[in-house]
Amino acid sequence: MDIIQLLPDHVANQIAAGEVIQRPSSAVKEMLENALDAGANQIQLYIKDAGKTLLQVVDNGCGMSKSDAKICFQRHATSKIKGINDLFKIRTMGFRGEAMASIAAISHVELNTKLTEEKIGTQLVIEGGEIQSEKESVCANGTSIKVKNLFYNVPARRNFLKSDKVELRHITEEFTRIALANPQIKMQFFHNNNELFHLPKSNLRQRIVNLIGGKKNEILVPIEEKTSLVKITGFIGKPESAKRTRGEQYFFVNGRFIKNHYLNHAVNKAFEGLIPSNYFPSHFINLEINPSRIDINIHPTKTEIKFEDEKEIYAIIRATIKRSLGTYNIAPSLDFSQESAFTIDYKKESLIQEPKIKIDNTYNPFAKDKSKKTTSQFIEQTEIYQEEQQNTLNKQDDMYAIQIKGEFIAYSTSDGLLLINQVRGHKRILFEYFKKTLNKSINQSQKLLFPKLITLNNKDITLIMELHEILADIGFIFDQVDKETISINGVPPECKDANLQFLIENLLEQYKSENSIEIEQKEKIAISLSTSLCINKKKILSQKEMRTLKEELLKCENPTICPLGKKTMINIKHSELEKYF
């Protein structure tokens, strides 16, 4: 009996839509990229209820004819490629012909478009991928696409959408990426009839300032390099502006935003020795490469690119950044005209003397008395060590602890040895404390004598204001001063001695890096705080501190694993220790 059958088109389109359109920000990305490909120099983005109710992109590009307007919503319909060889010389944003078909399959779409040379445009209304109406329309040159009720026919996907604040943050990030890659285009962003961004035509530096914040201008360092392989332009942030968050790291290849950890590593290596290892420098870097030397057809969202000469590009980026840091006197530059190792200040009174070698003619390495002496010394030292150890154990009983390289703590027990990872153990203690505090909403805050001003970028300001109520339950009392600054007036007692700028940046970075869907917002905050406030890996602890850590850890509900699911301790029994001897 035959059981394999072809899926209906509308089902296949909905399945395909899941790969391309994951949330409202995915639809925004595709529509903005289409506006760019249409040659627009003015683009407006309108959204309502974080895109759940309405997504609209209006551009003044070339527009579409009546027949093109209809066919653009069919799968694999594209004007960008005609043959297989075109895949190796792509310079447009979209080319797969999947975006509009995917969007139309899961929403209500209204399209108004008009060619520049025509007097009358075209209006299409589509529901679930099916054209409901088609008529002539009086509209401006270019294209306006309204996407309403996204995922209306895929309720499971709609239920997985996050809060309006979270979805708005994702849309803002997509808008930011495209705006940074195209500073020559005027762009506006409206949410619920409020204008969030008004970006006039400008250069890249001004666009960065308009998007990220006014204080960015003074910390931007230009970079530029042109080789036969790649042309590099853009800006990097000064070392003192490096943060614990990765939010201000942007790579663009031929005008397309990409994610590439290998190239990010090249930037970090260029800053090596100038910033702490756990900090990240800002960078806004454009790469222009021959399209035949890259492959952008490896991911549905086209944010990942395969480079033919990745190692060479890595080296060029690193060298270009190091040179700019030296040119602008940010990092020490080397003078290759003279080797400093050969620069010696000669003085008569400090002439280098030839070393004198002393020889003991009476020395006999096989003498018997030497072996006796060595043995007696070893026995004597061993007896002293054992005596001191026994005295200490008698004082501390079985609670005596030894710290191993500032990472592990070994506790002697009645039946063997207990090893605790001090960092993970402390994370578990803090996690359970903050989790209980959040669930009970106990606002234990210590008021600061002088409010502390914390500077963050626009996206991090938006995020921390989203978490305002939850952080207040823990004890963080703060207000937003302007678009880039918050004022902290109170902190939890556990944070009174912490570096608040570092703490807040680290908290946000840990919060953003925790991507598990199952973890609720309060638990993510508890994980972030426990990670930010736990003791350092190399911190030397006193006997009292080590005993306290063990006691508090064993009181936890789940003492054997840290909040991230890694082991905090192992118990080695006496019978297992005997196997080693």
Strand 416-421 versus strand 306-307 pairing type: unpaired
Residues 299 and 213 in one domain: yes
Contact 457, 282 (CB under 8 A): no
Question: Among positive and negative, which fits the CA dihedral 303, 309, 310, 312?
Answer: negative
Q: For residue 576, is pLDDT > 90? A: no
- How far is residue 539 from each of residues 293, 385, 405, 409, measured CA to CA in Å? 48, 25, 9, 11
Q: pLDDT per residue over 493-543, tens digit each? A: 877 667 888 888 888 877 776 655 445 777 888 888 888 888 888 788 888
Q: For residue 69, give both structure tokens.
A: 């307007």
CA–CA distance, 33 with 181 (Å, rounded to integer):
11
Residues 390 and 454 in one domain: no
Residues 195 and 222 in one domain: no
| Domains in the chain, number | 4
CA–CA distance, 133 with 130 (Å, rounded to integer):
9
Q: For residue 381, give both structure tokens.
A: 């030292």
The answer as to whether 4 is a domain residue is no
Q: How far is CA 448 from the centre of its chain?
A: 31
Residues 249 and 192 in one domain: no
**Conformation bin of residue 97: beta by default, left when phi > 0, alpha when psi is -120 to 50:** left
CA–CA distance, 192 with 207 (Å, rounded to integer):
24
Instruction: Please identify which residue in the block is written with the tokens 């970090």.
Output: 268
Residues 142 and 257 in one domain: no
Q: Which of 201, 227, 251 is the last residue of a domain?
A: 201
Residues 444 and 507 in one domain: yes
Q: For residue 267, is pLDDT > 60? A: yes
The answer as to whether 344 is a domain residue is no
CA–CA distance, 121 with 141 (Å, rounded to integer):
8
Strand 130-137 versus strand 54-59 pairing type: unpaired
CA dihedral 197, 201, 203, 204 (to 10 degrees): 30
Q: Which amino acid is at 104?
A: A
Q: For residue 359, is pLDDT > 50? A: yes
The answer as to whether 118 is a domain residue is yes
Compare 53 and 361 and report the one with higher pLDDT: 53
Q: Which amino acid is at 408?
A: F
Q: pLDDT per residue over 206-241, tens digit each? A: 999 998 876 778 889 999 999 999 999 999 999 988
What is the share, in percent, of the chain residues with pLDDT greater than 70? 79
Residues 160 and 19 in one domain: yes
State the DSSP string of 508-569: HHHHHH---TTS-HHHHHHHHHHHHHSPPTT----HHHHHHHHHHHHTSSSTTB-TTS-B-E
Q: Which of 146, 179, 201 is the last residue of a domain?
A: 201
Q: Where are the extended beta strands (E) located within 149-207?
A: 186-191, 194-199
Q: For residue 378, is pLDDT > 70? A: no
The answer as to whether 578 is a domain residue is no
The pTM of this model reads 0.71
pLDDT score, position 412? 83
Any idea which of 9-18, 238-247, 252-261, 309-318 has the lowest mean pLDDT? 9-18
CA–CA distance, 100 with 186 (Å, rounded to integer):
23
Model confidence at 357, pLDDT cuts 50, 70, 90, reads low
Q: Which amino acid is at 316?
A: I
Name the residue among 93, 107, 92 with its Cα closest to residue 17. 107
Q: Domain of 166: which CATH number? A: 3.30.565.10
DSSP one-letter code for 561: B
CA–CA distance, 157 with 143 (Å, rounded to integer):
28
Residues 161 and 226 in one domain: no
The answer as to whether 99 is a domain residue is yes
pLDDT score, position 80? 63
pLDDT score, position 340? 38
CA–CA distance, 548 with 430 (Å, rounded to integer):
13
Residue 383 structural domain = 368-395
Q: Which of 299, 327, 355 is the last residue of a domain?
A: 327
Which residues, 6 or more positions from 466, have their beta carbon under 8 angstroms from its beta carbon? 163, 165, 166, 169
Residues 189 and 225 in one domain: no
pLDDT score, position 372? 44
Model confidence at 302, pLDDT cuts 50, 70, 90, reads confident
Residues 438 and 388 in one domain: no
The answer as to whether 377 is a domain residue is yes
How many contiguous H segments (helices) and E segments (strands) does the chain have? 17, 22
Q: Domain of 492: which CATH number? A: 3.30.1370.100
Q: For residue 348, is pLDDT > 90? A: no
The answer as to whether 45 is a domain residue is yes
Overall average pLDDT of the 472-477 stretch = 86
Q: For residue 526, give both structure tokens.
A: 């508890």
Overall average pLDDT of the 413-425 stretch = 88
Q: Domain of 241: which CATH number? A: 3.30.230.10
Residues 213 and 176 in one domain: no
Q: For residue 385, is pLDDT > 60? A: no
355 backbone dihedrals φ, ψ, rounded to 5°? -65, 140
pLDDT score, position 529? 84
Residues 233 and 153 in one domain: no
Give CA angle at 449 (443, 450), nearest 5°. 110
- For the chain, the farthest-separated pair of C-alpha atoms sits apart, in whole angstroms, at 113
The answer as to whether 363 is a domain residue is no
Q: For residue 384, is pLDDT > 70? A: no
